[in-house]
Structure 1
Amino acid sequence: MELTIKGSGNKVSVSEAVFGREFSQDLVHQVVVAYRNAGRAGTKAQKTRSEVNGTTKKSKKQKGGGARHGALTAPIFIGGGVTFAAKPRSFAQKVNRKMYRAAMAAILSELNRQGRITIVEGFDVDAAKTSGLVAKLKDLEVGKRPLIVTEEASENLFLSARNLPYVEVRDVQGLDPVSLVGSDSVVITADAVKKIEEWLA
């Protein structure tokens, strides 16, 4: 299949396996959840009643004082332990390489079908100025949350996008499913398209 390069009228041949794949919602969901879970620290820790600093002596006599209680470290008391205390753990989910690549291809294919991929010959800015990047994006008529993908993003491009909260810049190596799913549109350079094909084909 062929995709048109915006601004020049030229076309670039792309693989059906990468940009024309059938969308699998279950696969994409699994990969996106696994990717986000991999970024979780999993360091939350709470104390059980046996770990709370305090005496385990019975707080008052058994009868004659209302409710019957034992140690003040019980979860019912303020400052007591937590009933089902959270402990440090890993949230990592195993996703093999074939599944990850298939999900990335499925996302790109769905974006292509929805007309949310814009291919350009090249994308860069002369200086690290936010105004220059805003002007380029306005000319391309992309949405409020564009994702810019280049073969090797320059430092000027990264710095120009730093103050724009909804604009993301990625090189091909840094491309991930969460950034693709969360963007309104994706601007990809022709060189990046070829590199993505080599990666996912």
Structure 2
Amino acid sequence: MELNVFNSSNKVSVSEETFGRDFSQDLVHQVVVAYRNAGRAGTKAQKTRSEVAGTTKKSKKQKGGGARHGALTAPIFVGGGVTFAAKPRSFAQKVNRKMYRAAMQSILSELNRQGRLTVVETFDLDAPKTSGLVAKLKDFNVGKRPLIVTEDATENLYLSARNLPYVEVRDVQGLDPVSLVGADTVVITVDAVKKIEEWLA
């Protein structure tokens, strides 16, 4: 299959497997959730009644004082332990390489089918100016949340996009399923398309 290049008569030949694959919602959902979970710290920690600093002496006499209570470190008291205390843990989910690549192919194919994938010859700026990037993006009608993907994101491009909310710049190595799914439009260079195809082949 071929992808049209914006404002050019040229076309880019790509494999059907990478940019024409059937969309698998279950697979994409699994990979996106796994990717987001991998970024979770998992450092939440609470203390059980045995870990709370405090005496375990009986708080008052057994009879004549109402309810019969033991140590004040029990979960029913303020400042006591937590009944089912949270402990540090990993939220990581295993996603093998074949599944991850298939999910990326599925996302790219769906973006192409929906007309949200814009291929350009090059995308670079002469100077790190936000106004220059804004003017350039107006030509592409990218929506509110554009994602710019180049083979190697230059410093000028990165600095120009830094102050723009919802505008992301990625190189091929930094591409991930969450950024692709969350973008209204993906503006991608021809070199990046070829590099992605080599990566996902």
Same fold (TM > 0.5): yes
TM-fit CA distance, 1:167: 0.4
| 1:33 partner letter | V
How far apart, in 2, do the equivalents of 1:131 and 1:70 lie?
68
Are 1:68 and 2:65 matched, yes or no?
A: no
**Partner of residue 112, structure 1:** 112
| 1:53 partner letter | A
**Partner of residue 129, structure 1:** 129
How far apart, in 2, do the equivalents of 1:80 and 1:9 lie?
72
**Partner SS, residue 93 of structure 1:** coil
**Partner SS, residue 3 of structure 2:** strand
**Partner of residue 56, structure 1:** 56
Q: Which whole-Å deviations, capped at 9, do the CAs of 1:173-194 have from their partners, x for residues lacking one?
A: 1000010011111000011000
How far apart, in 2, do the equivalents of 1:166 and 1:126 lie?
22
How far apart, in 2, do the equivalents of 1:110 and 1:66 lie?
68
How far apart, in 2, do the equivalents of 1:182 and 1:67 lie?
56
**Which 5+ residue runs of structure 2 have no aligned equivalent?**
none
**Partner SS, residue 196 of structure 2:** helix
| 2:117 partner letter | I
Are 1:36 and 2:36 matched, yes or no?
A: yes
How far apart, in 2, do the equivalents of 1:9 and 1:62 lie?
91
**Partner of residue 159, structure 2:** 159
**Partner of residue 85, structure 2:** 85
| 1:130 partner letter | T
**Partner of residue 9, structure 1:** 9
Q: Which whole-Å deviations, capped at 9, do the CAs of 1:51-81 have from their partners, x for residues lacking one?
A: 0001111111223222222111111111111
How far apart, in 1, do the equivalents of 2:64 and 2:16 lie?
80
TM-score of the two chains, using structure 2 as the length reference = 0.97
How far apart, in 1, do the equivalents of 2:194 and 2:160 lie?
25
Sequence identity (%)? 88
**Partner SS, residue 140 of structure 1:** coil
**Which 5+ residue runs of structure 1 have no aligned equivalent?**
none
**Partner of residue 182, structure 2:** 182
* Root-mean-square deviation over aligned CA pairs: 0.9
How far apart, in 1, do the equivalents of 2:189 and 2:128 lie?
19
How far apart, in 1, do the equivalents of 2:68 and 2:133 lie?
69
Q: Which whole-Å deviations, capped at 9, do the CAs of 1:131-163 have from their partners, x for residues lacking one?
A: 111111111111100000000010111111111
| 2:115 partner letter | G
**Partner SS, residue 46 of structure 1:** coil
TM-fit CA distance, 1:44: 1.1
How far apart, in 2, do the equivalents of 1:62 and 1:114 lie?
73
| 1:72 partner letter | L
